[in-house]
A = this chain, B = another copy of it.
């Protein structure tokens, strides 16, 4: 955190660049997201930008990491309890619908990173596993309490949840009228969760259509 020494300064600048890049992608969209465009946007030359990140692909991985960091901070994503998890997750999804460029970059990278040689491969594997672990833990808890169906294993439910989120992003990229959050929430409803704040199991339709 201390900024003395050129090393720390470099780190700070990196962070600054990432924040800025993320911001620009969120606002301006992703388009042909070339190193050059991001460089322009953050006020550096292409060479200046690559000075910090070595290659385009490394840059993109770092941008995604920064995104995760910011999101985890903004919305409490690390809760291992069901309702906070559910709500936090929905908040992120709602937020995503305001940053299409970020969603597009993420989806594109996700496909490219399927190649084990790709610099983002490890990142996606780990991120993916981490999310599933959080889901699994809180779902299992809920299953034990009898509030979520135990017809399907928690691990599998977690995977389904993750798949729906990713899949809804694709549907939403194609047609922006789609309500990602509402659909994911419908899935939560399906799992048998008592709708967010009502006492017993109440009509699910009302509880959580996106509040933005």
On whether the beta carbons of A191 and B195 are closer than 8 Å, the reply is: yes
Closest to A187 in B: B160
Instruction: Give A contacts to B, CB under 8 Å.
Output: 104, 107-108, 110-114, 121, 124-125, 128, 147-149, 151-152, 156-157, 159-160, 162-168, 170-171, 173-175, 178, 182-183, 186-187, 189-193, 195-196, 201, 204-205
Chain B: minimal CB distance from A179 (Å): 9
Q: A104: which B residues are within 8 A, CB to CB? A: 111, 114
On whether the beta carbons of B171 and A162 are closer than 8 Å, the reply is: yes
A128 to B147 alpha-carbon distance, docked (Å): 33
Known: A111-B111, A152-B204. A168 touches B174 (CB 8 A): no
Task: Pick the most buried of A159, A186, A189: most chain B CB atoms within 10 A of its CB.
Answer: A159
Chain B: minimal CB distance from A140 (Å): 15
On whether the beta carbons of A110 and B174 are closer than 8 Å, the reply is: yes
A131 to B52 alpha-carbon distance, docked (Å): 45
Task: Pick the most buried of A113, A125, A174, A183: most chain B CB atoms within 10 A of its CB.
Answer: A174
13 contacts between A and B (CB under 8 A): A121-B174, A149-B193, A151-B204, A152-B186, A156-B183, A156-B186, A157-B186, A160-B187, A163-B166, A163-B183, A190-B191, A190-B195, A192-B195
A162 to B173 alpha-carbon distance, docked (Å): 14
Contact of A149 among B125, B173, B190 (CB under 8 A): B190
Q: A175: which B residues are within 8 A, CB to CB? A: 125, 128
A204 to B182 alpha-carbon distance, docked (Å): 26
Q: A167: which B residues are within 8 A, CB to CB? A: 162-168, 170
Q: A114: which B residues are within 8 A, CB to CB? A: 104, 170, 173-174
Contact of A190 among B147, B162, B190 (CB under 8 A): B190
